[in-house]
A and B are shown apart, each in its own frame.
Chain A
Amino acid sequence: MKPVWLIAGNFVREQRWPIAILLGWVALLSAAAGFSDLRRSPDDVFMMFQQVAVYILVFSLFFGASAIRNELRTRRILAVLSKGISRRQYIAGLLLGIVTAVVVYCLALGAAGSWVLPQAGVPAARFWFLLLGLLTASLLTACLALFFSIFLHPLLATGATMVSVGVPLLAAAIWKSPWAAVIPVYAILQGFLDLSGHDAALRGWMVLLAWGETGVLWLASAWLFSWKDVAVAVE
């Protein structure tokens, strides 16, 4: 497990500037919201939290899609994989790094939300549950993007992830079927976007399903990555 933590810590260190910018943005917006008259404009506050929630999802997508490519392009992967770590541990380390970045962001968002949202009528406990959903949706998105990036260019991997997340949603909208739950990123995110406690039990199941899918994707990514020639130039 130690090498996994090392890879994760290293990933967070390498991505410290994007993470710092995200945290700075949360701090800035929550300060702006906190010092405004929230009871008079709760919709603005909700919109702000929806916006930052979508940011972390987008960042997870980019973190996942570019993680391996960055290491291949710089050739830093060679010194790492020449050590006593397996490909599965390496992929797990990258995912754990993304989780760490998302958790840090969610904690910051949670702290800001616990201060701001009760003033706008949203209980803090509900907000923390929705944050767990956001974390899960982000992790599943990152894992999908990482999986696709093993055999696709990061831009194509980003597109493939968006299609994977969007097609079930589209199918659900067209045929009024529960297809959105197949890859439940948007279904989980919806709870965060309306900041409601409706369908909490259903969303709880979706969170569990998303964790399961993340596990399967991690195993599939590790297997696929074990066949990848990491020494071949990517440019």
Chain B
Amino acid sequence: MAAVLEFEEVSKHYGGGFSRRPPVRALDNFCLQVEAGEIFGFLGPNGAGKTTAIHLALGFMRANSGRGRMLGRPFGEARTRRRVGFLAENVALYHRPALHLVQFYGALNGMGGTPLRQRARDVLELVKLGSDAERNVAAFSRGMLQRIGLAQALVNNPELLILDEPTSALDPIARVIIRELLLRLKREGKTVFLSSHLLSEVELVCDRVGVMHQGRLARLGKTADLLHSREQTQVVARGIAAGAFPGAVASDGVVSFTIATASQRQVLEQIWSLGGEVVSVNPLKRSLEQIFLEVTQARGEGA
């Protein structure tokens, strides 16, 4: 599948040189490929380099080394950005009526006339701001601003949508709206690059996930693969004492515990030899939060 967004050994550092601030390495030989039609979750703690990577892709800044491509073209080309939608973290927009604002951003992308007016109304409906189209965004709440920001990102019907913390200021209902919108965009064949701290959201919508740490990609894979551990297995058995296996918990007449996948056969034979019955054996399901903490803490200790 074609890469829509591609980083090849990209490095970016701030400060140093004539600046009085010590140099900070935001990206360190960062490599990533985002494929067409997927929703890619981009995770990492604050300062991991997520926003820097996004800003490089959009041409807001230049890399110190390495190269990247967006929609098949080098980073920073204005023509390419016409096919991209972007929502910044803590979105800042001009103060004018919502409909005019969305039309303004659409016009900057070369749109005009009736199609633009219609599209602007449509995207405002999509983000559930249709009834506020004539209101000045100066009077909007933070959640509404986030949604109007999403509307301006969608107005040009982008092939690639880059979202930096789109749900951070939203209430649960608005989050559901955005989640459904992202899934709808995926069905339409769009690519979504989603940077977020809301791991539960990412877990629900993303096909693949990358975890950044200290300017590098620390973990990358399909969400389902990452969530299911290959090293550990969850065993549920009946008819044995909870004390028979370390860490086992008894509940509703069954005993459940986690084992190393390599010792699976030996443990199952042990259950049978104790007269027990195996109810289920599954790869251990973890949350993204666990993986996130595992990656960041392990690297933090290693650093």
B108, B110, B112, B149: residue with the most chain A Cβ atoms closer than 10 Å? B108
Contacts A10-B104, A84-B82, A229-B62; is A75 near B88 (CB within 8 Å)?
Answer: yes
Q: Would you call A6 and B92 a contact (CB within 8 A)? A: no
B55 at the interface (CB under 8 A from A): yes
Q: Would you call A84 and B109 a contact (CB within 8 A)? A: yes
Q: Would you call A6 and B14 a contact (CB within 8 A)? A: no
A85 at the interface (CB under 8 A from B): yes
Encode contact with A along B35-75: 1 for CB under 8 Å, 0 otherwise.
00000000000000001100100111110000000000000
Main secondary structure of the interface of A (DSSP, over half): helix
B191 at the interface (CB under 8 A from A): no
With the chains together, A4 CA to B60 CA distance in Å?
A: 18
A196 at the interface (CB under 8 A from B): no
With the chains together, A10 CA to B153 CA distance in Å?
A: 19
B107 at the interface (CB under 8 A from A): yes
Contacts of B84 on A, CB cut-off 8 Å?
Answer: 82
Q: Would you call A84 and B81 a contact (CB within 8 A)? A: yes
Contacts of A74 on B, CB cut-off 8 Å?
Answer: 92
Q: Would you call A82 and B62 a contact (CB within 8 A)? A: no
B105 at the interface (CB under 8 A from A): yes
What is the total number of residues of chain B having a CB less than 8 Å from a CB of chain A? Answer: 34
Q: Would you call A229 and B152 a contact (CB within 8 A)? A: no
Q: Would you call A231 and B61 a contact (CB within 8 A)? A: yes
B90 at the interface (CB under 8 A from A): yes
With the chains together, A74 CA to B82 CA distance in Å?
A: 23
Contacts of B78 on A, CB cut-off 8 Å?
Answer: 84-86, 89
A86 CB, min distance to chain B CBs, angstroms = 4
B196 CB, min distance to chain A CBs, angstroms = 18
Ranked 10 nearest A-B pairs via Cβ: A84-B82, A82-B86, A229-B61, A83-B108, A231-B60, A75-B92, A231-B55, A86-B78, A78-B88, A76-B92
Chosen A-B contacts, 22 in total, with CB atoms closer than 8 Å, are A3-B108, A10-B94, A13-B96, A74-B92, A75-B90, A76-B94, A78-B60, A78-B92, A80-B105, A80-B108, A82-B88, A83-B82, A83-B108, A83-B109, A84-B78, A84-B82, A84-B109, A85-B78, A85-B81, A229-B61, A230-B60, A230-B61
